[in-house]
Every structure is written in structure tokens, then in C-alpha cells.
Amino acid sequence: MRILLSLLTVTIALQAQTVQEAKAFLDEAEATLLKQANFVSRAQWLQSTYINPDSEMQAALANEQYIGIVKDYARKATRFDKVKLPDDMARKMMLLKIGLTLVTPEDKAQATELTQLMAKMESAYGSGKYCRDAPQDKGRCLDLQDITLIMANSRDPKELLDVWQGWHKVARPLKTDYKRFVELGNKGAREIGFKDMGAMWRSKYDMPPDAFAKELDRLWEQVRPLYVSLHAYVRTKLREKYGAAVVPEKGPIPAHLLGNMWAQSWDNVYDVVEPKGATKTYDLTSILKQKKIDELEMVRYGERFFQSLGFAALPKTFYQRSLFTKPQDREVVCHASAWDVDNDEDLRIKMCIQVTGEEFSVIHHELGHNIYQRAYRKQPFLFRDSANDGFHEAVGDTIALSITPEYLVQVGLLDKATDPSGDIGLLLKQALAKVSFLPFGLMIDQWRWKVYSGEITPENYNQKWWELRRKYQGVDEPGRSEADFDPAAKYHVAANVPYTRYFLAHILQFQFHRSLSQAAGCKTPLHRCSIYNSKEAGAKLDQMLSMGLSKPWPVALEAITGKPEMDATAIKDYFAPLQKWLDQENKGKAVGW
């Protein structure tokens, strides 16, 4: 018995020592990764706000070092696979292994090549321009900001096609680089045990990769009928505007006619599809300009919204260090983004803000990232992230859903709320921004996952891209070939940013909004609810935000919504009056493509 007890004591001691070693390993990893992550953030900030070969190289080197360190810790973490660890430590070990969206190969030359390719592609996108050849333009070069305004405001189909094709020329030279990027990225993923980069990305959602793919299909099927109805109505209106020679009665809509470079949101063509006899909705862009609200004050409106929920004001350094407008003396990446440079209080946004209603919402979206980043900053480093990447994108958009007429009255931007009889117009405009995005948010990674798996090859990159866009979005290519590389005309492809998060965010934001509106005691229809000034809603939101990545996302979701499953029925609830109206409008007309 004594021998057995002695053996048991030794076994327990060894086990305890092993757990203690695991804790020491995690403590060291978190301290090292925190320091290196902050270094990478500063290098990437410089690359994005001062585009030049030197900043590109520094960002590439910093990224290469960080990836190498994470890979090393991921491999070392496997030593503890058979050790029974406390739940929080076991989760940290798991997160170490799946924390990257890009893994460099072991070969040092290939690792350097891959990170340099990444910096090069992102910079090429950020500095891209379309230089017109027409004599009347005198060789004028348009950047994406210029083209975005034309896409939003022009109603000349020839001009729209011209700038659409012009911007997509920027992506053509990236095809060879992207092919090599895929080869090297897949090699790195395989070296740490994944089938390819797509499998690695899908492993980040607290469920098996194949189960996650099925979950996306389930959510899409919940919202697809509403999208198909919206598509049919918009196609009819565009056909009335541009004629049968430009827009078909049946089939996909030409991609360049929807007011956005990627046809990912259609709210810019509201004037074309506005319901006949509808009560005029307010024009927030005009209101902002009439009241002389500048870019910085637009940011302060967003900050005050979060303060009304009980969140602290942003740090002074936020206003000192952020980039709010496009500099005249250098190239920058204007794509809006939020930054947590030191994983603590150095919060920033990077935007080339334009005084528009759309940008007003984008600011709320980006500040949502910052508020989330600050909420989980007291978590251990490996838990300083959102419950899943869709949560991070959803938070600010949830707040943007509260930019209702009632809210605009409260903050002095409207004299009185618009009459509810005009809500079909209001809902249609919102659907053009939100519902239209859903299939685009889904298909980008559907394409990439097939590229990473080898199902789509470089010989048919563009063909398969447009097949998926027709399948999911019902939009068509305006004269493309395999000489083009249209996927990289979207920032997230050129910069290797996963995109499924945005699809999830568009599902989650309505689910969050429904729950927070209930917490705020809102009695109006869901699309009229604003949680502005509700400390109850703010407390519920903060409960979820402060968890960070410390728990699986269903736990965080349950904290805010009361249920652990993602559910797109909140979108149906929000747009129920519009669905009924669309069904009437589409009677006797072609639906689907």
C-alpha cells in the first residue's frame, strides 16, 4: 500500500509539475507575443499611412518575425497535448495553434518572400490609380476615393463601366504574386498540420471546419428569400432607368450599375429604385453638410453614442494619432480600419473620411472595434480578441442600426422624426445597404477556400470568381477574361484579410440589435429602435465585450442574446414590412436569376 501511495504521490507531483510548466510556458508566450504584436502594429501603421518601399520592407520584416514566433510557440504547445489542463489554459494552448491567418514556411527564404509579397500586394492596392486616356481628361488619374464617388453618383452607364473597368486594371498585375502567395501560404499551413489555408481559417470558430461551412449554408438559406425579392425589385427599376439593352428582364444584374465598386451594397442607387409616391426619407449627407459638420465632429458623434451607453470617452491620444482625412503629401491606404496599437489604450482609426451619411455609419462601425478592444484589454493577451471575428465586425454595425430618425432628433441633426408612413423607403434604403451585402460577404471566402484547396486553379481564377458571384449575388461581369484578376480589386483579397467575418457580422448585428432593443425597453418596431442613452443595453453589451476570446463564441452570444446559436430570424423581423411590400411589387415579374 505504501508503495502504491508513493507511486501515486510521484505521479501527482509529475502531473502538477507538468501543469506548472504549461503555465510558465503560456506566461512566457503571452509576454513575448504582446511585445512583438505591438511592434508589428506600429510597423503596419507606418506602412498604411506612409506608403513607400521602406515602410513596406519594415512591415514585412516585422510580420515575418511575428509569424515565426507564433509558429514556434504553436509547435511547442503540442508538448502539452496529453496534459489535463484547466479550461482557461487549454483554451490558450488551442488559440496558440490557430491564431494566425497566414503561416510562413520553415524555409527562411520562402518566409521572407511570402511576407514581402503580402506587403507588396497591399501597397499596390493602396496606391492604385486609374489614369484615363480620353483627351478631355488630360490623363487625369483617379484613385479609389475618386472612383467611389463616381460609382455612387453617376447615372451614365458608359462612365460607370469605364471607371469600373479602370479600377479593376489595378488588380491585373497581382495575379502572378497571388499565385505564389497561395503556394507559400498553403505550404506554411500544411507544416503546422492543416490541409490548406482555408481549413486553417475555418478552424477558428469553436467547431470542426466542415461543420462551420454547413452553419454558413444554414444562415444563408434563412435570409436568401429576402435577398432574392430585393434583387428582383432592383433589377426591374434599373431596367426602367437604363433600358432593356443594358439590364435584362431576367438573369443577373450588370455589376457596375449598383452604385458600388463591388456591388456589395446598393444604397447609393436608392434614388433610382425609390418607391413611387414614397414619403421622402431624410438625406443625412445633406444634413451634415448644411450643419457644417466636419470629419472630426462626425467622429465625436460616434464617440458620444458609446458614452451614452456608459462607456468611457476615448483617450486623448486617439485624436492625436488617428488618421481622419487623406493627406495631400503622401499615399495612404484609405480603407477604413480600427487599430489597437499597444493592446491597451493606444486606440486609433485610419480613414479618409468624407462628409456623407454612409461614412457617418462607417465611423460608428470602426469605433465599435475600438470600444471592443478597450473592453477586453484586461484579459490575458491570448484572450484579447473578439469571441469570433464576426463579433468584432458586428458591434459597430449594431450601433449603426440605432442611427434612426428618433436618434437624429435626439442629437440635433433632425428637427423631427420622419413620419412612419415613409418607413418602406427607410427600410428599402437599409436593405440596399445590409441585405444586398449578405451573398457578397459569403462568396469571397467561398472562392478563396476553393483556391487554397486547389479546386480553383490560376488558369480559371477569374472565371470561377464570376461563377460564384452569379450564383450568390446574381450580378454579372461586364466583359472579363482570364487576363483579368478581379478578386484582387477588393482590398481584403489583396491584403489577405478573411471575409466570412463580415457575413457573420451582418447576421449577428441584427441579432444583437433585437436583444439590446429589448434591454432598452424599446416599444417601436425593431427598425425604429435606438439604444442611444440606454445604460441597460450598454451593460448587456459590455458583459459580452469584456469576455474577449476567453470563452467559446456561443457563450458570449448567449450573454447578449440569451441563446447560443446564431439566428438570422432577427433580419426577417427587422425587414418584415419590406418583405411584404416587395412581394406585392414583384407580382407578375421575374424573380431570381
Q: Which of 392, 492, 506, 527 is catalytic?
A: 492
Strands 347-350 and 475-476 come out as unpaired
Q: Rounded distance, CA 349 to CA 328, Å?
A: 18
Query: What whole-number distance in Å separates Cα of residue 212 and Cα of residue 205?
Result: 7
Q: Which of 66, 491, 502, 532 is catalytic?
A: 502
Q: Which of 256, 365, 392, 527 is catalytic?
A: 365
50 is known as an active-site residue = no
Element (H, E) at 410: helix 405-410
Known catalytic membership, residue 369 = yes
Catalytic residue among 152, 213, 278, 336: 336
Residues 89-125 as b/e (b if ≥16 CB within 10 A, e otherwise) read: bebbbebbbbbbbbbbbeeeebbebbbbbbbbbbbbb
According to DSSP, the residues that pair with 337 across neighbouring strands are 350
> 502 catalytic, yes or no?
yes
Selected catalytic residue, list 64, 113, 359, 393: 393
Catalytic-role residue among 168, 256, 369, 506: 369
What does residue 86 show for φ and ψ, rounded to 5 degrees? -55, 155
Give the three-state DSSP class for 339.
strand
Which DSSP state fits 349? E
**CA 11 to CA 3: how far, in whole Å?**
12
Q: How far is CA 133 from the centre of its chain?
A: 34
Check: CB of residue 593 under 8 Å from CB of residue 224. Answer: no
492 is catalytic: yes
Please name every residue paired with 253 in a beta bridge, in sequence order, or none if there are none.
475
Task: Specify the amino acid at residue 117.
Answer: L
Say whether 393 is catalytic: yes
Pairing, β 475-476 against β 253-254? parallel
Spatial distance between the Cα atoms of 355 and 219, rounded to a whole number of angstroms: 34
Q: Which three cell numbers stand for residue 88?
A: 482557461
Number of Cα atoms under 13 Å in the Cβ half of residue 81:
6
Q: How far apart are CA 167 and CA 490, in angstroms?
A: 10
What is the rounded CA–CA span in Å between residue 211 and residue 209?
A: 5
In the annotation, is 335 catalytic? yes
Catalytic residue among 113, 122, 366, 477: 366
- Active-site option among 256, 335, 364, 392: 335
Q: Which helix (H) or strand (E) holds 398?
A: helix 389-400
Residue type for position 423: D
Question: Burial of 242 by CB count in 10 Å (0-12 exposed, 13-18 middle, 19+ buried)?
Answer: middle
Residues that are catalytic: 335-336, 365-366, 369, 393, 492, 502
